Amino acid sequence: MLQTMTKSIQILSLFIFVGLFMFSCNEWEECVALPISEKPTSGRVILIEEFTGAKCPNCPAGTQALEAILDKYPDNVVVVGVHSNFLANPAVTGDPKLSYPEAQAIENFLGLWVGKPEAAFNRRKFSNQANIRIGKPDSWNVFVDEELKLSPAADLFISRSYDTLTREVTVSLRAVGKENISKAMHMHVMITESNIFTTQESSTGNIPNYNQKHVLRKVITPIPGEKIADQIEKGKEYKKEYKYTLPTDAVLWKDSNCSIVAYLSFDETDKYVIQATEIKVK
Partner 1 sequence: MINHFLKILLIVGCFYSSQLLLAQDNLVLGGGFQLNGNVFLRDSAIGAANIPQYDHQIYGGESWFELNASYLGFNGGLRYDAFNNSNLLNPQGSYTAHGIGKWYLNKSIDKLDLSVGYIYDQIGSGIIYRAYEERAQLIDNALIGAAAKWNFNPNWSVRGFVGKQRNLFSSYNSNLKGFAVNGFYQMSDTASWSISPGFGFVNRTLDESIVSELAAIIGSYEPVDQFKPFYNSNAFSVFNTLSWKDITWYAEYALKPNDLFYDPNAQRALPKGQTSLGKLVKESGSVAYSSISYAAHGFGITLEAKRTEGMDFRAEPLLSLNKGLINFIPPMAKINTYRLLALYYPATQFLDELAYQADIRYGWKKWNVSLNYSDIRDLTFKRQFYNEIYSEISYKEPEKYTATVGVQRQIFDVEKYYGKGGAKVVKTITPFVEFLYKISRSKSIRTEMQYMHNPTDIGSYVNALLEVGIAPRWLFEVADMYNIKPVKGSKLNYPSAGISYSQGANRFGLRYVKQLAGIVCSGGICRLEPAFSGFRASINSNF
Cis peptide bond N-terminal to 96, omega within 30: no
- Rule CB under 8 A: choose which of 73, 78, 82, 85 binds partner 1: 85
- C-alpha 275/C-alpha 148 separation (Å) is 11
Residues contacting residue 82 through CB under 8 Å, at least 6 positions apart: 49, 50, 51, 52, 103, 106, 107, 216
Contact flag: residue 36 with partner 1 (CB under 8 A): yes
Contact flag: residue 72 with partner 1 (CB under 8 A): yes
Q: Which is nearer to partner 1, 79 or 87 (CB)?
A: 87
Contact flag: residue 165 with partner 1 (CB under 8 A): no
Contact flag: residue 209 with partner 1 (CB under 8 A): no
Neighbours of 99 (CB within 10 A): 20
Contact flag: residue 33 with partner 1 (CB under 8 A): yes
Contact flag: residue 87 with partner 1 (CB under 8 A): yes
- Rule CB under 8 A: choose which of 112, 166, 250, 269 binds partner 1: 112
CA angle 190, 111, 219 (to 5 degrees): 10
CB-based contact 206:91 (threshold 8 Å): yes
Q: Which is nearer to partner 1, 31 or 250 (CB)?
A: 31
Report long-range pairs for 105-111 (Cβ below 8 Å, ≥24 apart): 105/219, 105/223, 106/49, 106/82, 106/216, 106/219, 106/223, 107/51, 107/82, 109/223, 109/224, 109/268, 109/271, 110/49, 110/271
Contact flag: residue 250 with partner 1 (CB under 8 A): no
In the complex, the smallest distance separating the C-beta of residue 159 from partner 1, rounded to whole angstroms, is 32
- Total residues binding partner 1 (CB under 8 A): 59
Residue length, the chain? 282
Single out the segment in contact with partner 1 by CB under 8 A; choices: 7-15, 150-158, 214-222, 243-251: 7-15
In the complex, the smallest distance separating the C-beta of residue 146 from partner 1, rounded to whole angstroms, is 8
Q: Which is nearer to partner 1, 65 or 219 (CB)?
A: 65
Contact flag: residue 25 with partner 1 (CB under 8 A): yes
Contact flag: residue 3 with partner 1 (CB under 8 A): no
Contact flag: residue 89 with partner 1 (CB under 8 A): no
Contact flag: residue 11 with partner 1 (CB under 8 A): yes
Report long-range pairs for 202-211 (Cβ below 8 Å, ≥24 apart): 202/57, 202/60, 203/57, 203/58, 203/60, 203/61, 206/91, 206/92, 207/60, 210/54, 210/60
Could you tell me which residues are beta bridge partners of residue 118?
A: 51
Contact flag: residue 105 with partner 1 (CB under 8 A): no
In the complex, the smallest distance separating the C-beta of residue 89 from partner 1, rounded to whole angstroms, is 11
Contact flag: residue 92 with partner 1 (CB under 8 A): no
Binding site for partner 1 (CB under 8 A): 1, 4-5, 8, 11-12, 15-16, 18-19, 22-23, 25-26, 29, 31-37, 56-58, 61, 64-65, 67-68, 71-72, 85-87, 104, 108, 111-116, 128, 135-139, 141-142, 145-146, 201-206
